[in-house]
Amino acid sequence: MLDFQKSFGQKPNRESKPVYSYAGENPFAIEIDRLFCTYGPKIAVDRLTLRVPTGAVYGFLGPNGAGKTTTIKTLLGLRGMQGGKIRLLNYDITTHGLEARQRTGYLAETNNLYGYMKVGEIVETARRLSSRWNSRTMSRYLDLFNLSTTQKISKLSKGMKGQLALALALGSEPDLLILDEPTSGLDPLKRYEFLNQIVREVSQAGRTIFFSSHNLNEVEQIADRIAIINEGRLIVEDELDNLKLHEKAVKVAFDRPVWVHDLENIPGVRHVMQEGRRFRLLVRGDAEEVAAELEKLGARTVELVEMNLEALFIAYLQGYRENTTENTGQTWQNEKR
């Protein structure tokens, strides 16, 4: 972690002028345009385009191997890209990555803290390396996490190390905070404190939070906008409230066999999932009209269901996988038949 922070602390070349204006003058803190990254022959990120509004709490979601960490590392200049463009806080990272990183805080999923140091020593090292530092902010987070400056880092638990790494990232009061699985290893109380205090404080200050997490309940609590990717490709990107407003679910059961194809052909139905003897239909638009059509088909029970983020996440991923399979000419329905 400190190796990365060291690059934050280096002074920029005063003769080098930024290509873009400051973040406050731009509605986007992160602009990704057709990002393309590979590992040998494997495509990790496939022409990904995203716009993260300044001041947003932005959830970046996807299954394991979807390309989330690769995208984050590319944003931070920790790995190269094979195509596309990235602007971070209005700086083109290929020409002014140092300026962007000086105003960015980063918390990795795995934290490489110097175990031989004490907490106070690593805090002082981070202070010296940072171009701007708020000691009061740092002390407040150490108190929040019950971290003593005399504690040896090697003696800290995994969760406490994660808390220390987060405190170090926040000590420089970054304009953009990028978090990769930020609550990994935290107990439920510390997780709650992170979500409801730290995120609130950072976002209320007008700063931007861009984070990935597998805990969808956490994301739903704090994110105002999300993106879901799979196989390096964008599946959906929108305000979370907008998705929940327009995407509805209908659970239906029949007393007779029903073709999935017939359910998919109902206007407004975007995706059909079979759950035992029942079906869950993902609906965009008027769910009551879909329910009426299901009753015409002889449905035994019809139930309108509110969609939470987990249900949306599963539905979008399943829809993506089925569409991908259909494009190869090997549909799930063909296999079942």
What pLDDT tens digit does each residue of the chain (337 aa) get?
433 333 333 333 323 333 333 444 679 999 999 999 999 999 999 999 999 999 999 999 999 999 999 999 999 999 999 999 999 999 999 999 999 998 998 888 777 788 899 999 999 999 998 888 989 989 988 998 889 999 999 999 887 888 888 889 888 889 999 998 877 767 777 777 777 777 777 777 888 999 998 889 889 988 999 999 999 999 999 999 998 888 888 999 999 888 888 998 999 898 888 888 899 898 887 889 999 999 999 999 999 988 889 988 988 887 777 676 555 443 333 333 3
Strand order in the sheet with 91-92: 42-53, 28-39, 83-88, 91-92
Domain check: are 286 and 254 in the same one? yes
Residues in Cβ contact with 20 at an 8 Å cutoff, skipping those fewer than 6 apart: 26, 87, 90, 91, 92, 96
Domain check: are 150 and 24 in the same one? yes
Residue written as token pair 């690059």: 7
Residue 292 domain-assigned (yes or no): yes
**Helix (H) or strand (E) segment spanning residue 303:** strand 301-305
- Among 202, 231, 260, identify where a domain stops: 231
Q: Say how many CA atoms lie within 13 Å of 150 toward its Cβ.
A: 0
- Among 193, 209, 231, identify where a domain stops: 231
Domain check: are 211 and 256 in the same one? no
Query: How confident is the model at residue 326, as a pLDDT?
Result: 59
Residue 283 domain-assigned (yes or no): yes
**Closest by Cα among 107, 67, 76 to 94:** 76
**Helix (H) or strand (E) segment spanning residue 275:** strand 269-275
Tokens representing 110 are 């795995």
Domain check: are 201 and 255 in the same one? no
Domain check: are 129 and 273 in the same one? no
- How many whole angstroms separate alpha carbon 326 and alpha carbon 113? 47
Domain check: are 278 and 183 in the same one? no
Domain check: are 226 and 248 in the same one? no
How many domains would you assign to the chain? 2
The CATH number that applies at residue 267 is 3.30.70
Domain check: are 117 and 190 in the same one? yes
- How many whole angstroms separate alpha carbon 62 and alpha carbon 74? 17
- Strand 91-92 with 301-305, pairing: unpaired
The CATH number that applies at residue 165 is 3.40.50.300
Residue 207 domain-assigned (yes or no): yes
Expressed as residue numbers, the domain containing 246 is 242-336
Query: How confident is the model at residue 35, as a pLDDT?
Result: 97
| 78: Cα separation from own chain's centroid | 18
Domain check: are 131 and 246 in the same one? no
**Closest by Cα among 43, 45, 39, 31 to 234:** 45
Query: How confident is the model at residue 248, as a pLDDT?
Result: 87
- Among 231, 252, 276, identify where a domain stops: 231
Residue 322 domain-assigned (yes or no): yes
Residue 119 domain-assigned (yes or no): yes
Give DSSP secondary structure letters for 73-115: HHHTTSS--SEEEEEETTEEHHHHHHHHHHTEEEE-SS----T
Residue 145 domain-assigned (yes or no): yes
Domain check: are 221 and 98 in the same one? yes
Residues in Cβ contact with 257 at an 8 Å cutoff, skipping those fewer than 6 apart: none
Residue 48 domain-assigned (yes or no): yes
Domain check: are 249 and 108 in the same one? no
User: Bridge partners of 92?
Assistant: 87
Residue written as token pair 């969760």: 159
Q: Name the pTM for this structure.
A: 0.79
Domain check: are 65 and 153 in the same one? yes
- How many whole angstroms separate alpha carbon 337 and alpha carbon 335? 5
**Helix (H) or strand (E) segment spanning residue 305:** strand 301-305
**3-state secondary structure (DSSP) of residue 268:** coil
Residue 236 domain-assigned (yes or no): no
Contact at 8 Å (CB) between 151 and 81? no
- How many whole angstroms separate alpha carbon 322 and alpha carbon 220? 25
Contact at 8 Å (CB) between 58 and 229? no
Length of the chain: 337
